[in-house]
Amino acid sequence: MYCYNRPSVALQDYPTVRTAADLAEAIERSIRQGSFAAGEPLPPIRQLAEQVGLSAGTVASAYRVLNTRGLTASDRRRGTWVRELRKEDLAPVRQAIPVPAGVVDCSSGNPDPRLLPDPVPAVAGLAYEPAMYGSPVAHPGFIAESRRRLKRDGVPAEHATVTFGALDGIARMLASNLAPGDRVALEDPGWAALIDLVERLGYTAVPTAVDPEGPTTDGVWQSLAAGAKAIVVTARAQNPTGAAISKRRAGELREVFSRYPGRLVIEDDHACGLAEVALHPVVGPTGRYGFLRSLAKGYGPDLRLAVAAGDATTVARLESSVIAGAGWVSHLVQQLALALWQDPAVSSQLAAASSLYRQRRAALCAELAARGIDVAAPTGLNVWIPVGDEATAVSALLARGWLVAPGGRFRMVSGPAIRVTTAALDTDRAAECATAIAEASAAAASKGRHSGSGG
Ligand SMILES: Cc1ncc(COP(=O)(O)O)c(C=O)c1O
Query: Mind spelling out the 3-state secondary structure of 111-151?
Result: CCHHHCCCHHHHHHCCCCCCCCCCCCCCCHHHHHHHHHHHH
Higher pLDDT, 452 or 101: 101
**Which atom of ligand 1 is the closest one to the Cα of 234?**
1
Say if ligand 1 is within 6 A of residue 257 CB.
Answer: no
Mutate which of 294, 329, 409 for ligand 1 pocket (most atoms within 8 A of beta carbon): 294
DSSP β-ladder status, 306-310 and 159-163: antiparallel
Say if ligand 1 is within 6 A of residue 294 CB.
Answer: yes
Instruction: Tell how far the Cα of 305 is from the centroid of ligand 1, in angstroms.
Output: 11
pLDDT for residue 17 is more than 90:
no
pLDDT tens column, 136-191: 999 999 999 999 999 999 999 999 999 999 999 999 999 999 998 899 999 999 99
pLDDT tens column, 83-126: 876 654 544 445 666 788 899 999 999 999 999 999 999 999 99
Say if ligand 1 is within 6 A of residue 310 CB.
Answer: no
pLDDT for residue 2 is more than 80:
no
pLDDT tens column, 242-285: 999 999 999 999 999 999 999 999 999 999 889 889 999 999 99
Mutate which of 172, 187, 270, 302 for ligand 1 pocket (most atoms within 8 A of beta carbon): 270
Could you tell me which residues come within 8 angstroms of residue 254 by beta carbon, excluding any fewer than 6 positions away?
Answer: 282, 284, 285
**Are the C-beta atoms of 213 and 280 separated by less than 8 Å?**
no
Say if ligand 1 is within 6 A of residue 301 CB.
Answer: yes
Give the pLDDT confidence score for residue 14 in this predicted structure: 52
Question: What average pLDDT score do residues 49-60 get?
Answer: 89
User: Closest by alpha carbon to 308, among 328, 294, 298?
Assistant: 294
User: Closest by alpha carbon to 246, among 264, 234, 262?
Assistant: 234
Say if ligand 1 is within 6 A of residue 329 CB.
Answer: no
In whole angstroms, give the CA distance from residue 132 to residue 380: 37
Q: What are phi and psi of 2, to 5 degrees?
A: -65, 135
Closest residue (by CA) to atom 1 of ligand 1? 239
Say if ligand 1 is within 6 A of residue 166 CB.
Answer: yes
pLDDT for residue 440 is more than 60:
yes
Q: Is the peptide bond before 92 cis (omega within 30 degrees of 0)?
A: no
Give the pLDDT confidence score for residue 213 in this predicted structure: 98
Q: Assign 19 a pLDDT band (cuts: 50, 70, 90).
A: confident
Say if ligand 1 is within 6 A of residue 328 CB.
Answer: no
Closest residue (by CA) to atom 7 of ligand 1? 166
Question: What average pLDDT score do residues 416-435 get?
Answer: 98
Instruction: Tell how far the Cα of 109 is from the centroid of ligand 1, in angstroms.
Output: 9
